[in-house]
Amino acid sequence: MADKTVDAAKARAARQKKEERPSAEDTPILRGRAALFARRLSKKTPVWASRREMGPWEQKEGLLARIAELEPILGAAERRALRDPDRRDVATQYAAQARSELDIAKAVLEHHSHALMRRASHLGVAQSHVDSALNLMIWLCSADDIKALLPQMLRLIDDQFATGDPQRIRATEIAHALREKNSTISTSDRAFLAGTVSLARRLIRKETLRVRSFVRIVLVVAWALLVAAAALAVLTFRWSDEVPLCFTPENMREYHIICPTGSTTPVPPTEPPTTAEVRSATQRADYLVVQIGGVLAASVAAAATLRRIRGTSLPYNVPVALAFLKLPMGALTAPLGLLLMRGGFIPGLSALDSSAQIIAWAIVFGYSQQLFTRFVDAQGQALLNAVHGHQAAAQQAAHP
């Protein structure tokens, strides 16, 4: 009988060892993240796949490291909870669910698990499952463990709730009570802390999703403006004489036709030039030169604006999207501003007498797109501050 028992145990150990043997797909992970990184850069991996993963690579590795750190902590908390009569009945269930959340987070972080063109969505989903595991661990932790976690939880609650918020006040009272000697935590206080911390984390994810939505809207608008600017350049290059950017100043009783890329004198010069003469003086590159000047001015404005925008650890490039928006805006505001001047909309500036003046005003109008995009800049910075909580927003308001 004993021999049969020993043989059965050896058979189970052999099966377990066989099941734990790494497969071909798991080999790169077991050999280290460097091997996985090299595999993604190899010829077998599509170029688009490796490129879209390199951006948030640090955040992904940080989440994987955090999961690896939480797994042994969860096991230790479960063993201590099983020895506690007050938490023994829920320890196994909560620990199993927390492990399931961590496993889901690891599966989401795999390179093939997220959809194409959603470059950072897998990070947000994985973070949500990690946060869920952390909330479940609050039910497993002892009073001493919760005391150790109090600074982190209070910081999270203080960042997401206003000073006079009842939940923030109640969390502070529970923290003061726990810091007293030989104090314990009741089931209701444990439930309140778990629920409040969970709500704070959901608020952070909500603000993060708002940042992602904002970036996508800005990029869509920027691409639409870019298409409009390109269409304007193509149409005006093909039909350059339909809407001329030329001016007809009078100097010493003589009229001249001044265009962005050249000038001419009507015949006779003492009479105002006709519409046909103005249209014949236009050049194909008139609008293109003006748009280039507007884009250059807008790029300078974008560089000047970046100094006022704080960087972010989020995987969504808010400053880059805002800077990209300014370029097509400058390409459109430059010719539109000159058309307003040519139509006499700005008194006293309806007759520019040199091509240099036209290009100079194109640069001014290209930079003037800042009058419109500065409101978008302010909204982007406000969203970034909201992710970091009320204190960050107040500090940014006090020191803009």
8 contact partners, CB below 8 Å, separation of at least 6:
none
The mean per-residue pLDDT over the stretch 331-359 comes to: 83
Most distant pair of Cα atoms in the chain: their distance:
124
Q: Within this chain, do residues 271 and 345 fall inside the same structural domain, yes or no?
A: yes
- Over residues 272-291, the pLDDT tens digits come to 788 888 888 888 888 999 99
- Domain final residue, candidates 210, 229, 260: 210
Q: Are 358 and 352 in contact (CB under 8 A)?
A: yes
In a domain, 266, yes or no: yes
The length of the chain in residues reads: 400
Query: What 8-state DSSP symbol labels residue 256?
Result: -
pLDDT digits (tens, 9 = 90+) for 151-188: 888 888 888 888 888 888 888 888 888 877 666 788 88
Section 102-112 average pLDDT: 79
What's phi and psi for 56, nearest 5 deg? Answer: -90, 30
> CA-CA distance, 228 to 247, in Å (whole number)?
25
Q: Strand, helix or coil at 201?
A: helix
Q: Domain total for the chain? A: 2
Boundary of a domain, candidates 210, 231, 260: 210
On whether both 87 and 178 belong to a single domain, the answer is yes
Same-domain pairing of 247 and 377? yes
Q: Tell me whether residue 75 is in a domain.
A: yes
In a shared domain, residues 291 and 265? yes
Calpha distance 163→86 (Å, rounded): 34
Domain span including residue 137: 26-210
Taking Cα atoms as reference points, which of 38, 58, 54 lies closest to residue 314? 58
Torsion over CA: 272, 276, 277, 279 (sign): positive
pLDDT digits (tens, 9 = 90+) for 13-33: 455 444 444 444 443 443 444
Asked whether the whole model's pTM tops 0.75, one would answer no
Rg (CA), the chain: 32
